[in-house]
Amino acid sequence: MAKNIKTAAQFYVAMRDYIIANSSQITDLNEGSNIRTLLEAISLICGDINLDWFITLDESTQNSIYESFDFPKKTGDRAGGYLTFFIQKISAVNVTIPIGTLIDWNGFFVETTQIGTITAGDLDSGEISALFTSPSTQTNIDVGTINTLISRGSIVDKQDDLDYVQNETSFSGGTNEESDEDRIERFKIFIQGLTRSTIFGLQTGALSVDGIRSADVIELDPIPGWNTIYAEEGNGTLSPAKRAEIIKVIKGDSADPINYPGYKAAGTLVEVKAPIVINITYDLTVKMLIATSYDEATLKSIVKSAVERYTNSLKLGYDVILSEVVTYAQNADEGIYDVVVNVPTTNVTINTGELARTNSGIITITVVEVSY
């Protein structure tokens, strides 16, 4: 059935024509007359009701389809990035930062997802992958936002050896709730994988695990007879707990077949791994108009954060598109006239099971003034 959304003007014309055709008593329909003003007011209300009804119909139709397949929205994605821990005095032995170390940042907790080490003789740990523990757009933060003395109580279960923590990369990918667009894309994969034992079925199973942001499946990998599922939580890592949950979902659980019926066919061999991270190195030239007032260090920092935000929000198998890099960098500050990407020179192809990230990549930014 085609939609017939009438505007307020259309409602007014319909009522006016009805009155003209059926009543000889009402003749003053000129602009500003009492009867016309009344009809226009009623038309506005009818137009709003008509539009609201169709919007509600669209939403309820979509929701009824999702509910029929028991396909709720995911709670959202956690922002991911990298933390660097520091000590003030050189240690004669290695200082270990355990996986799961929690940092309290303004009431949001960020958790390390890999073991880190400050090597004997060094003062910092280098970049350690981390995720915020709850989904929120508020946790998409720029470089240096977490910049805290640990002694002030920012670290939970504080280690006496650690003195300072900072995010030297931005955190990105955090969402409050799965968007309608992402839900539709996930639903398409779900429909294609209803037979469950297909690649789409395995991908659907991995994506159904809360906290898994993207997943890919490669057949005949690493050898014929095997399928490898690559899954990640937002920053290219896959915690042991999430990996175990994916395996349970895919293989099924004989002790709980109602909740875990399994997605793979009998005899199918499946491995679950973290993705292959492709570190992207950038060299950008940022052009500023001569008349623009700016602080070069601050400008470089916000452009770096913007490029990291784009790259580190890409999902598994998504290519790095240079035009998108330019757009993100140029929108970082209204005073930027143009951005040129010197490295890479072309779009970067990311294969199935791979994930583009800036971790350990270098972002070099040169600021030049132009007069156009």
Asked if residue 286 is part of any domain, the answer here is yes
Asked if residue 56 is part of any domain, the answer here is yes
Tell me, yes or no, whether 243 and 284 share the same domain.
no
Asked if residue 60 is part of any domain, the answer here is yes
Asked if residue 171 is part of any domain, the answer here is no
Asked if residue 173 is part of any domain, the answer here is no
Q: Of 68, 101, 119, which residue is a domain's last?
A: 68
Tell me, yes or no, whether 304 and 331 share the same domain.
yes
Q: Tokens 């006239």 belong to which residue?
A: 337
Query: Which strands sit side by side in the sheet containing 363-370, from one edge to the other?
Result: 336-343, 282-289, 363-370
pLDDT at 32: 87
Tell me, yes or no, whether 38 and 98 share the same domain.
no
Asked if residue 134 is part of any domain, the answer here is yes
**Collapsing DSSP states into helix, strand and coil, what is residue 81?**
strand
Tell me, yes or no, whether 286 and 359 share the same domain.
yes
Tell me, yes or no, whether 268 and 312 share the same domain.
no
pLDDT tens digit string along 88-127?
888 899 999 999 898 989 889 999 999 999 999 999 999 9
Q: Of 143, 166, 189, which residue is a domain's last?
A: 166
Which residues of the chain fall below pLDDT 70? 1-3, 150-160
List, in sequence order, every residue forming a beta bridge with 227; answer none if it has no partner: 219, 270
Tell me, yes or no, whether 64 and 84 share the same domain.
no
Asked if residue 2 is part of any domain, the answer here is no
Beta-strand pair 282-289/363-370: parallel
Tell me, yes or no, whether 316 and 259 share the same domain.
no
Number of domains making up the chain:
4
Q: Tokens 């720029």 belong to which residue?
A: 142
For residue 124, the 8-state DSSP code is: B
pLDDT at 332: 93
pLDDT at 353: 95
- Cα–Cα dist 343/340, whole Å: 9
Asked if residue 74 is part of any domain, the answer here is no
Cα distances (angstroms) measured from residue 221 to each of 179, 200, 255, 271, 298: 32, 16, 29, 9, 46
Q: Of 230, 245, 274, which residue is a domain's last?
A: 274
Tell me, yes or no, whether 268 and 305 share the same domain.
no
- Cα–Cα dist 222/318, whole Å: 22
**Model-level pTM?**
0.73
List, in sequence order, every residue forming a beta bridge with 277; answer none if it has no partner: 355
Q: How many helices (H) and strands (E) does the chain have?
A: 7, 16
Tell me, yes or no, whether 187 and 251 share the same domain.
yes
- What is the sign of the dihedral through the CA atoms of 83, 88, 94 and 99? negative
Q: Which domain holds residue 365?
A: 279-370
Q: Bin 14: left if φ > 0, else alpha if -120 < ψ < 50, else beta.
A: alpha
- How long, in residues, is the chain? 372
Tell me, yes or no, whether 268 and 290 share the same domain.
no
pLDDT tens digit string along 295-312?
999 999 999 999 999 999
CB within 8 Å of 254: residues ≥ 6 apart: none
